[in-house]
């Protein structure tokens, strides 16, 4: 995304480019997204068709509200939806090539399909106790993010193309040592569990896992024991899907303040991610407002060194 000129999120671009293997689930699912810090811009499709935007799902029981229809049978709902779609199609005939109308029609159809697919997909109780332990579901510290990670694995098994998880609370302008320790305790075990589970199911080699944020922290603590924002040097890690395991790309200076080797901006990162997914970032374009747009805009260099 981009706050100055709203652009499609990375997930929207990827589903636009690759489509989805899931027939009864959205191609792009975002679990427990935050409402601030970019909000819907983190998973919105902007000028891409609305069918490529992320579908918000809470992380836990009752992830998707209103799944059950107490008044109508499945057959009656199908007839009702067919009637609504017929009416919407007539309206679309009056306003052809309207992505908003197309998005509404597709969202109704997907919502109907999700009534049967979501309960099965998110039935975490069906998992063996060993899997629950692997993700830390029985530990109050790790259960929240562990649930997200296990939901992500089950979505990936169903063919959902892009799955976005959120672990917030990293903005430590005070007491950064304790803050990072607490947040790490909540996510380390679930992340390790997800990678181990994907590997044991022979899914990791075909699944790209990316971890990161929008910036890092400064090299120095202030008088509150915190650290300020640092956009000059910070780290992402990737695992699976075509990445060279154990490789460290780039380096900071001796103070840990700025990147000095192997510097990559976000366009480079996006270009590399698209390459790992089999997409050429220069050819993945969408015509809007008189010109072709790309996720990487006019930049982007693939980091060949990290490719397996």
Each residue's pLDDT tens digit, 130-188: 999 999 999 999 999 999 999 999 999 999 999 999 999 999 999 999 999 999 999 99
What is residue 2's predicted lDDT score, i.e. its pLDDT?
61
Average pLDDT value for residue range 198-225: 94
Q: What is d(CA 231, CA 215) in angstroms, rounded to the nearest whole number?
A: 5
What is residue 226's predicted lDDT score, i.e. its pLDDT?
94
Question: Structure pTM?
Answer: 0.91
Cα–chain-centroid distance for residue 94? Answer: 35
Number of domains in the chain: 1
Please check whether residue 84 lies inside any domain of the structure.
Answer: yes
Q: What is d(CA 292, CA 297) in angstroms, rounded to the nearest whole number?
A: 9
- The predicted-structure confidence for 190-207, as pLDDT tens digits, reads as follows 999 999 999 999 999 999
Structure tokens, 10: 């990375």
Strand duo 28-31 + 55-57: pairing? parallel
**Sequence-separated (6 or more) residues with CB below 8 Å from residue 100:** 50
Give the SS3 label for residue 28: strand
**Sequence-separated (6 or more) residues with CB below 8 Å from residue 259:** 232, 233, 250, 251, 252, 253
Provide the mean pLDDT of the chain. Answer: 92
What is residue 100's predicted lDDT score, i.e. its pLDDT?
75
Please check whether residue 288 lies inside any domain of the structure.
Answer: no
Please check whether residue 304 lies inside any domain of the structure.
Answer: no
Element (H, E) at 242: none
Give the SS3 label for residue 79: helix
Please check whether residue 281 lies inside any domain of the structure.
Answer: no
Average pLDDT value for residue range 96-114: 81
- Cα angle vertex 304, ends 298, 308, to 5°? 140
How many CA atoms lie less than 13 Å away from 155 in the CB half-sphere?
26
**Of all residues in the chain, what percent carry a pLDDT higher than 90?**
71
Please check whether residue 276 lies inside any domain of the structure.
Answer: no
Report which of 171, 266, 264, 159 is spatially closest to residue 224, judged by C-alpha positions.
171
Please check whether residue 286 lies inside any domain of the structure.
Answer: no
First to last CA, the chain: 28
Longest Cα separation, the chain? 67
Please check whether residue 3 lies inside any domain of the structure.
Answer: yes
E-strand ranges in 124-281 read: 162-165, 208-211, 216-217, 229-230, 237-240, 251-252, 259-261
Residues in the chain: 308
| Range in 55-59, 68-72, 79-83, 227-231 the model is least confident about | 68-72
Q: Strand pairing partners for 292?
A: 287
Tell which phi-psi region holds residue 289, choosing left (phi > 0), alpha (psi between -120 and 50) or beta. Answer: left
Phi, psi of 239, rounded to the nearest 5 degrees: -140, 155
Please check whether residue 24 lies inside any domain of the structure.
Answer: yes
How many CA atoms lie less than 13 Å away from 98 in the CB half-sphere?
13
Residue 9 belongs to domain spanning: 1-168
């Amino acid at each position: 995304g981009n706050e100055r000129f709203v652009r499609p999120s990375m997930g929207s671009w990827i589903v636009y480019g690759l489509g989805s293997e899931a027939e009864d689930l959205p191609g792009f699912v975002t679990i427990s997204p935050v409402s601030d810090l970019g909000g819907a811009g983190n998973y919105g499709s902007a000028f891409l068709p609305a069918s490529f935007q992320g579908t918000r799902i809470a992380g836990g029981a009752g992830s998707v509200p209103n799944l059950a229809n107490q008044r109508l049978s499945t057959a009656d709902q199908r007839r009702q939806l067919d009637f609504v779609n017929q009416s919407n199609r007539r309206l679309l005939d009056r306003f052809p090539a309207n992505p908003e109308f197309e998005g509404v029609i597709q969202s109704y159809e997907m919502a109907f399909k999700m009534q049967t697919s979501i309960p099965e997909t998110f039935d975490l109780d069906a998992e063996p106790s060993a899997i629950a332990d692997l993700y830390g579901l029985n530990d109050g510290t790790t259960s929240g993010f562990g649930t997200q990670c296990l939901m992500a694995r089950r979505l990936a098994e169903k063919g959902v193309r892009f799955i976005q998880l959120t672990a917030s609370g990293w903005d430590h302008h005070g007491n950064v040592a304790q803050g990072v320790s607490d947040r790490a305790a909540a996510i380390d075990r679930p992340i390790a569990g997800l990678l181990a589970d994907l590997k044991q199911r022979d899914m990791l080699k075909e699944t790209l896992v990316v971890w990161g944020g929008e910036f890092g922290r400064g090299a120095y603590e202030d008088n509150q024991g915190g650290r300020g924002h640092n956009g000059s040097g910070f780290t992402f890690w990737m695992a699976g899907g075509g990445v060279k395991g154990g490789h460290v790309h780039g380096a900071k200076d001796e103070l840990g303040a700025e990147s000095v080797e192997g510097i990559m901006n976000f366009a480079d990162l996006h270009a590399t991610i698209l390459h790992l997914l089999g997409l050429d970032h220069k050819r993945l374009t969408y015509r809007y407002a008189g010109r072709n747009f790309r996720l990487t805009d006019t930049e982007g260099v693939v980091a060949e060194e990290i490719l397996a």
